[in-house]
Amino acid sequence: MLLSWRALPWKDLTPEILYRILALRAEVFVVEQNCAYLDPDGKDESALHLCLFEENKLIGYARVFLNESPCIVGRLVVHPKYRGKALGKKLMQKSITAVPETKEIFISAQEHLKGFYESLGFSQSGKGYLEDGIPHIPMVLPPR
C-alpha cells in the first residue's frame, strides 16, 4: 500500500480534492452513521486539510484549525475499506504534529473512541453530550 500525505489550506484545494473530501465525509458521517445533517458547515475555509491518499484515492482525512485557541482537530475519517490498518492513529498523529507544540488541542470525540484518543495523550475535559444524536465527549491534549 503506497500512501502519501498532503496538508492543504483552503486556497490550495482543487475542486477534485474538495469533492473527494466532501464525498468521504458524507459517506461516513451522514450515511454510515445515519446522521442527516449538512456536512459543509462554513468552517472549511479556515482549516488546514490533512489528506491521506493511496495513489489517487482519498482514504483518510482530518481538518485542523490552527488559528483557534485551543487548536481544534475534527472530521477525522478513514474510508471504511481501509479501517483496521492503524491509519486513524497515523492520521491523528499527523494532525497533532501539524499543531505547534506550544498549543493545546481540543477534539469533540465520539464517546466510544475515548480509549483511542487517550492512547494519544488526550484526556476528557468536560461532561459528555449528544451531537447529532451521537454521544460525544470533549477532550484535550496539553501543549507538548
pLDDT tens, position by position, 5-41:
999 999 999 999 999 999 999 999 888 888 777 778 8
**What is the pLDDT averaged over residues 51-70?**
96
**64-90 CB burial, b ≥16 within 10 A, e <16:** bbeeeebbbbbbbbbbeebeeeebbee
The pTM of this model reads 0.92
Identify whether the C-beta of residue 86 lies closer than 8 Å to the C-beta of residue 114: no
Rounded-to-integer distance, Cα 58 and Cα 64, Å: 17
Q: Which fold has domain 3-141?
A: Aminopeptidase (3.40.630)
129 pLDDT above the threshold of 90: yes
Average pLDDT over residues 108-118: 97
Cell of 97: 504534529
Domain extents for the chain? 3-141
